[in-house]
Chain A
Amino acid sequence: MATSNPTGAALALWNPGADEHDPISARTYGFWLYLIGDALLFCSLFASYAVLDNPVNAAGGPLTAQVINTPHGLWQTFIILASVLAYSLGTVSLKNGNAAGVQLGILAALLLGGAFLYISGTDLWALAAQGNGPTRSAFLSVFFTLLLTHGLHMLFGILWMLVMLVQVGVLGFTKDVVGRLLNLRLFWQFQATMWVCVYFYVYLLGGAR
């Protein structure tokens, strides 16, 4: 029985009804895989911390219980969670195309992130000023490295927010800008997740020993 198959320009080599390529999902998934790699970096720092947090590696200097401020750490926990909440609520405004709402959320998250870094920075600076800087002992080296690694992530996130504030205002909600806003949301939420791990392991467990 004869059939009429399309030929030439009429021939479609793909299923026109199939799902189209989704660049936003591809980007957020790729960024998610990066975050898992970043989590492995933190795992290596936690492993180093566990190895070096003992009197032999303190070289006569202080250990965790003498260098941490657990109530400050709890305030930092609340602040970073509030910052993530502010950014996340900003992305709820994104659903309605509300640029002012998005920018307000980013601005609030940025200021709270700055407050977090200020507390962290002043605590570490005071510690170093007492002669307990990162070169004092192997333990203090890993203590500073762990906290500064998280702080550098936070600083990068704040710079990224500044860029996105401008891009939302200038470019609007293009496909690229929306993809970046979603990736920044993942990045910022990841910082709170890592801080919960730092607070539990360094501040709570370290302070109890």
Chain B
Amino acid sequence: MSSHYNPLQHPEVQQGTTGRYIAAFLASAALMGGAYYASTQKLPLMEFAATAAALSLAALVSQLALFFGLNISQAQIWKGVALFLAIPLFIITIGMTVWAFSSLYSRTMPMDGMLMSGQPTLLQ
């Protein structure tokens, strides 16, 4: 590096602004507060799950954009690309595990639903 290199002039140092960080805090706190408020209402489970998931996802996106500062600038684009490519791995890790065990449980575990359906399980 040049002997005149000043780390404080680095794009990642210069990218943060007070307004952006305060906006990130307010957006995330409001969205998660909204999700909590939804939990105090007597919503049907699926309706509540969809509402809370949408609000939490919006909170995550606001953090990625405003706290982490992910965007398509030259300084940040590869972080966004790496995350974009990793998201399917997150979904596969959780989704495949849940799917596999859900299938296993329905065949091997004496769950309430199974007992009520009258279907014998491997443990019976």
Contact = CB atoms under 8 A, between A and B. Distances in A.
Given A47-B93, A51-B98, A173-B7, A92 B21 contact: yes
A197 B97 contact: no
19 contacts: A24-B10, A33-B82, A51-B98, A70-B39, A81-B29, A81-B32, A82-B25, A95-B13, A95-B16, A175-B1, A178-B7, A178-B10, A189-B67, A192-B28, A200-B35, A200-B53, A200-B56, A204-B35, A204-B36
B56 A197 contact: yes
Interface stretch (A2-10, A35-43, A144-152, A153-161): A35-43
A43 B90 contact: yes
Nearest to B63: A193
Interface string A104-131: 0000000000000000000000000000
Interface of B: 1-2, 5, 7-8, 10-14, 16-18, 21-22, 24-25, 28-29, 32-33, 35-36, 39, 45, 48-49, 52-53, 56, 59-60, 63-64, 67-68, 75, 78-79, 82-83, 86, 89-90, 93-94, 97-98, 101, 105, 109-112
A44 interface: yes
Contacts of B29: 77-78, 81
The DSSP consensus for interface residues of chain B is helix
Contacts of B21: 85, 88-89, 92
Contacts of A208: 39, 45, 48-49, 52
Contact of B32 (A21, A84, A199): A199
The DSSP consensus for interface residues of chain A is helix
B12 A28 contact: yes
A170 B56 CA distance: 41
Contacts of B110: 56
Contacts of B36: 70-71, 74, 204
A129 to B, nearest CB: 26
A196 interface: yes
Contacts of B28: 81, 192, 196
